[in-house]
A = this chain, B = another copy of it.
Amino acid sequence: MKEISDYTQKNAGRPRSQKAHQAILSATRSLMLETGISKLRIEKVAEKAGVGKTTIYRRWKTKEDLVSEAFGSIADKVQIPNTGNKIEDLLKIAKGMIESVSQSFGVSVQKVTPIILEIISNPELMRMYREQYILPRRQIFTHILEESIESGQIRSDVDIDLVIDQLIGTYFYFALMGEDISTLDNRFRKAAHQLVEGIGTKDFH
């Protein structure tokens, strides 16, 4: 049997319907919001998309493959922010890691955080999320921080990748494991300030 991922139309036979393809991905996204990933039923996706479940199983080997494409294909290019304030720029990019998803889905952040947690728990989906959502934003972070070094706001000897780890780690901890999302923005701003200015007394170093 032919590998699903190796599919190429061989100029013979009925071609796969692109309309069905998009309908399936759209139905997958819609139902994911209602049930999460673990309770997503392929048969329900088929019903909602108006296709037979055979069509889904023919195109995607596993549910993870389907979800990965449904989720990954809506990620779009990250805009470089320019609020005039570096801290606000950093916040905007950090928030984009989850808000870009909630905006694509047209729902609140609270609706998508459980799904993102499920994605992070699954190695294959995590790979997609890292590549499509995290890494592009790390590049923007790098750009912003390098600008800050050039402008003399940040020391040139700091480990930029590590700073990004600290910012993203703090943001995810707030967004995915926090109990109060309403104060997230201000806590992130203050955390960024503490990182810039340092919490030490300077007497020691």
Contact = CB atoms under 8 A, between A and B. Distances in A.
A165 B154 contact: no
A196 B163 CA distance: 13
A165 B177 CA distance: 10
A110 B165 CA distance: 20
Interface string A155-171: 10011001101101111
A146 B54 CA distance: 62
Nearest to A127: B179
A51 interface: no
A165 B99 CA distance: 21
Interface residues on A, range: 35 or more
A73 interface: no
A153, A166, A168, A172 pick with most chain B CB within 10 angstroms: A166
Nearest to A134: B177
Contacts of A144: none
Interface stretch (A62-70, A77-85, A100-108, A197-205): A197-205
5 closest A-B pairs by CB = A198-B198, A169-B173, A169-B170, A196-B200, A169-B169
